[in-house]
């Protein structure tokens, strides 16, 4: 069942964010880039997300055709998630986001280290 969208700006970035926006969707999709995962595996890989949030995000990704859900008739039931071919097309987008995030974290760490060094130098001058 497809979701309804109300794109207010008409910007293509808005359309992309409507599918992968939020805190957990891009993380779940990144984990699925490595192949099929069971729900429990995804839960362990995203420990700060609640089970309900993971379930809701996976359902939305499934409704958008990004994730495929496979249910196996076993006891206990086994459910696996994997990216569809359409979902795999997000790989370059997510890898670019990952590289940008890594560079941003390095930049912020360097800025914080500079601030600490400046504060320590100022204390030495005063003391």
Is it the case that residue 2 has pLDDT exceeding 70? no
Q: What is the pLDDT of residues 40-80, one digit of tens each?
A: 999 999 999 999 999 999 999 999 999 999 999 988 889 99
Number of structural domains in the chain = 1
Residue 120 resides in a domain: yes
The enclosing domain of 116 has a CATH number of 1.10.10.10
Q: What is the pTM of this model?
A: 0.81
pLDDT tier at 127 (50, 70, 90 boundaries)? low
Instruction: Measure the CA–CA gap between 63 and 73, rounded to whole angstroms.
Output: 22
Residue 105 resides in a domain: yes
b/e map 42-56, b = 16+ CB within 10 Å: beebbeebeeeebee
Residue 7 resides in a domain: no
Provide the domain limits for residue 117.
12-126
Write down the mean pLDDT value for the chain. Answer: 90
* Matching residue, tokens 């609640």: 50
């Amino acid at each position: 069942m497809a979701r309804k969208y109300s794109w207010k700006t008409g910007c293509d970035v808005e359309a992309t964010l409507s599918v992968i926006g939020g805190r957990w969707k891009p993380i779940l999709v990144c984990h699925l880039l490595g192949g099929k995962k069971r729900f429990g595996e995804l839960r362990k890989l995203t420990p700060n997300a609640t089970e309900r949030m993971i379930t809701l995000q996976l359902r939305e990704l499934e409704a958008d055709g990004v994730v495929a859900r496979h249910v196996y008739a076993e006891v206990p039931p086994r459910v696996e998630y994997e990216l569809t071919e359409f979902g795999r097309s997000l790989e370059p987008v997510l890898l670019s986001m990952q590289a940008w995030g890594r560079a941003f974290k390095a930049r912020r760490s360097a800025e914080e280290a500079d601030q600490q060094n400046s504060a320590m130098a100022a204390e030495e001058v005063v003391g």
